[in-house]
């Protein structure tokens, strides 16, 4: 599998974990020392803090709305480090687009650890 395909698979796992409210699947995508900033500007440092927050907010989050995640651009900074721009579109649980909600525009910094891509840092931004 190519690095691009592996990165697309990681992003598909983000989508799967969010849509199906699977905190442990989501948490497993991060390096232990990762930094994650939510769309509302809350900074979470380290997998433990990301895990605590995710376990609180993810269950029940997809009841009325969720999102699709699409890799929009990949910049390989080094062979084992990539900046990945995501297009995040709000959808209802049945997959129909929610047209009156803004898209998200996350940026993930991924690093390849023991042959697998992991999220080292992430910043989600709402598109106004």
* Contacts with 56 (C-beta within 8 Å, 6 or more apart), sequence order: none
- 88-117: per-residue pLDDT in tens? 999 999 999 999 999 999 999 999 999 999
Note down the domain range covering 92: 3-123
Asked if residue 25 belongs to a domain, the reply is: yes
Q: What CATH number has the domain bearing residue 84?
A: 3.10.450.50
Domain count of the chain?
1
Spatial distance between the Cα atoms of 103 and 32, rounded to a whole number of angstroms: 28
Q: Which residue's entry shows tokens 């940026």?
A: 107
- 2-37: per-residue pLDDT in tens? 999 999 999 999 999 999 999 999 999 999 999 999
Which tokens sit at 82?
A: 């990539």
Asked if residue 128 belongs to a domain, the reply is: no
Asked if residue 44 belongs to a domain, the reply is: yes
Q: Tell me the pTM.
A: 0.94
Asked if residue 47 belongs to a domain, the reply is: yes
């Amino acid at each position: 599998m190519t690095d691009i395909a592996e990165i697309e698979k990681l992003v598909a796992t983000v989508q799967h974990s969010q849509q199906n409210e699977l905190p442990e699947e989501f948490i497993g995508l991060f390096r232990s020392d990762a930094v994650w900033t939510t769309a509302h500007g809350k900074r979470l440092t380290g997998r433990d803090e990301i895990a605590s927050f995710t376990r609180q907010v993810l269950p029940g989050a997809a009841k009325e709305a969720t999102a699709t995640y699409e890799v929009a651009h990949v910049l390989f900074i080094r062979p084992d480090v990539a900046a990945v721009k995501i297009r995040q579109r709000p959808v209802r649980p049945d997959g129909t687009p929610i047209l009156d909600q803004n898209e998200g525009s996350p940026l993930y910094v991924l690093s390849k650890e023991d042959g697998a891509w992991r999220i080292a840092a992430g910043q989600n931004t709402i598109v106004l």
